[in-house]
Chain A
């Protein structure tokens, strides 16, 4: 089983739609979880952290389910500018804060 698994997509959704991505992780000792956004041919940038209590930032909501070992990202009222690849990132327990990146889920918002 991969350390971090994501559906690569692509997810093609119309503007204004709600879309959700899931990501599963294998190490139950992981403590830090993040969603990064990567635009085509650009570097990854932090979108949001995922806290145990959930985290909301405008149209974006991230959730953590420790029992089932997955995190989710919900995007409401999708905009054309949301088109990007969303990377799930999970820390590796054991020091020096190494992390594992998922392969990313590609989102294409269409007019």
Chain B
């Protein structure tokens, strides 16, 4: 049981290049999220998904696209990278509905190890 995995762990891009970050989870969770974390700021939600085939915008969606073709995978794409997208990207997942154990069981988000992206 690997939990939430992210690939790649590190990447350096030049301005204008494109790339895709992959998030995979093996916990059969319905909800998945992409965040970015920057110094002096809390984690900010980029996009999220409440199930296979669905996606929605978060707080800072501009410049990013996502897809959730399979329940276990959530992809984050940068079509034309900009220096402002230099950040640490975290993927997270959590179950839906109400589970035994209360909010700590249902509402807890499980994070991947992160992808450090630098755009030059």
Residues of A within 8 A of B (CB): 4, 8, 31-32, 34, 41-46, 48-49, 87, 91, 96-104
- The list of the 10 closest CB pairs from A to B, nearest first, reads A101-B42, A43-B111, A101-B43, A49-B104, A103-B42, A32-B103, A46-B108, A32-B107, A102-B42, A43-B113
Interchain CA distance A99-B103 in the complex, whole Å: 13
The number of chain B residues with a CB under 8 A from chain A is 27
Contacts of B20-51 to chain A: CB distance below 8 A: 31, 33, 35, 40-45, 48, 50
Question: A98 near B48 (CB under 8 angstroms)?
Answer: yes
Cβ–Cβ < 8 Å partners of A44 in chain B = 43, 90, 111
Interchain CA distance A44-B35 in the complex, whole Å: 11
**Residue from A8, A97, A104 whose CB has the most chain B CB atoms within 10 Å:** A97
Q: A34-B108, A46-B108 are in contact. List 19 more A-B contacts (CB 8 A).
A: A4-B42, A31-B103, A32-B103, A42-B113, A42-B114, A43-B90, A43-B114, A46-B104, A49-B104, A49-B107, A97-B31, A97-B107, A98-B33, A99-B107, A101-B42, A101-B44, A102-B42, A103-B42, A104-B42
Cβ–Cβ < 8 Å partners of A96 in chain B = 31, 48, 50, 56
